[in-house]
Structure 1
Amino acid sequence: MADNAAGRQPVIELRAVGLRYPGPPPVVALSPCDLRIWPGEFVTAVGPSGAGKSSLLNIIGLLDAATEGNYLLDGRDTAALGEAQRTALRGRGIGFVFQAFHLLPHRTAWENVELGLIHGGTPRKERRATARDALVRVGLEHRLKALPTTLSGGERQRVAIARAVAGSPSLLLCDEPTGNLDSATAATVLNLLDELFLLPAFICLFVGTVGIANTTLVAVLERTGEIGLRRALGARARHVAAQFLLESGTWGALGGLIGTALGILTVVPVALARSWTPVIDLGFVAAAPFLGLATGLLAGLYPAWRASRIQPVEALRR
């Protein structure tokens, strides 16, 4: 509402965009859909395998072209762009973070980040310092010259994130970036992406994460021994379920509070710096922690039920 009133346009706009591969039989990779993403938004696409998340990501990232509909990037119809224009736009303005890292095994972390800057058009004299700064931002200043084969999964994903953000892209696309990581490392990567998202005019389309539900479910699986011990010491199923519901609800409420605070702290300075009138809905601000609490509780229902079903003997044997 405020963006439209200010006469601004969405950075990403899909108008009945779909993707169909010819047969026989023809395969619908992405059903026609509409989508608008405005400057400063952090968007998550969730769905089961085969729902079209990666196809959507590929179209938005200009890796693939839609077979129907129109995709406007910064108001430009991408269908009118030639392959060279699409490649140049992708290299300069879009950063990619993938589940499989996609690092060159015989190049150092520093060199892998530099590679992204080469195709992004960064002058040669600036590339090395820019790549180093990106690695410092993700906490890898001590691993600059390490090869990917000597890095942990979390460190390799940090290198991939550094490569994606080194050129200061306006759009960051993440395709299940925590899918190959354990829950603790995944949480660290998510926190890192949250910190990077606070950069002005940064947009993040985050694919494949179910958030609190996934984190809580993984916690159930990794804390099986703890649950079994509590059950063995006399905790009932409802006590275990209540514990996980309390945790997920708390995370949800805190997420609502922190997200709202960070949003205000980000929006107001940027708006004032650009001579815009910041519009903040106080009703939404007040409702945010309650919405977060409700979301957390809802997301925690299945993990809590799953935890309550674990039997003491089964758990302690693991």
Structure 2
Amino acid sequence: MADAGITVAVTGPTGDVGRAFMRALERSRDVTAVRALGRREIDPASEGWKKTEYLRGSVLDRDAVDELVAGADVVVHLAFAIMGASGADGNEVNLDGSRNVFGAAVRAGARRLVYTSSVAAYGFHDDNPPLLTENVRPRGTDAHSYSKAKAAVERLLSEMTIGTHTDVYTFRPCIVAGPDALMFIGSIPYVQLGDKMPSALWRLLEAVPVLKPVIPDNGISFQLVHHDDVAAALRAATLGRGRPGVYNLAAPGTLTMRDLAEDLGWYAIPVPELAVDVAAEVAARLPFIPEDAQWLNALRVPMLMDTAKAQRELRWRPRYGVRETLRATIAEARASQLLR
């Protein structure tokens, strides 16, 4: 049975998952108070947060974190530096910031600690099983700083909470999408690499209106999950449903880059698998590699997850299928003029 009348402390409330999760907490009758810590200057009332006290600060500030978690029944850690994860600042936020949050939660005697990791924590390895279950060890991938950092934070979480009385829930969602999560659109290979295309090709594309943007497709399938469905799983853990542990999250169904191109109204061009392998290997060896280029590793092998455990233990039922999630993301990206 879920707990009632609880106080929840949240880091990273304004991120892709954070906003959806805050809405879920505000709607929950079992949650009486929420405290949230973020770097942005926001007005809780303008966000529709009626039972939330917002603290402006950083997870690197131990005093701010201690203030956040004091008296909280549940601590939910969402703060994570994504695009800057390869730099010193990103590593500091991800590792030192997480250490501050985990330590404060344990010292404060929080009943539950909920952390959002990623499918990337498993690592992009050729020997991964065809379908990843929660029993697969998160190894990360050194050439992909986001993947490496997610695996490192999971190890840190395990080390800091073993033998404590705090129940730990770790979620590994696949690519998070939806109207509040437009970063997925920004990671599409054409969008990121378009300004690096040869100028002659750019002139051709501009001069011939019938030509549409092109996405490389090597046939690898991938998953998406709607941010509202991630928020629903987080809320279930916050309320104490299911057993503590690790949970995969993904919407029903899979996509390929060809499916993505179809919904965008673009073209997909078959790319030999070897070409992706070579490009990713070259990118891994270059110094100061840009963060977006490292995602080439994600196209090398399938990263498909089994979500039966979340459905069984948490009674998690995603409201949005993978194609529905994709189309909602594209519609918002076009409304926001991120896409033409």
TM over 0.5: no
Which structure exhibits the higher relative contact order, with contacts defined as CA atoms closer than 8 Å and separated by 6 or more residues? 2
TM norm structure 1: 0.34
Tell me which protein shows more helix as a share of its residues. 1
TM-score with structure 2 length normalisation?
A: 0.33
Mark the structure with the bigger radius of gyration: 1
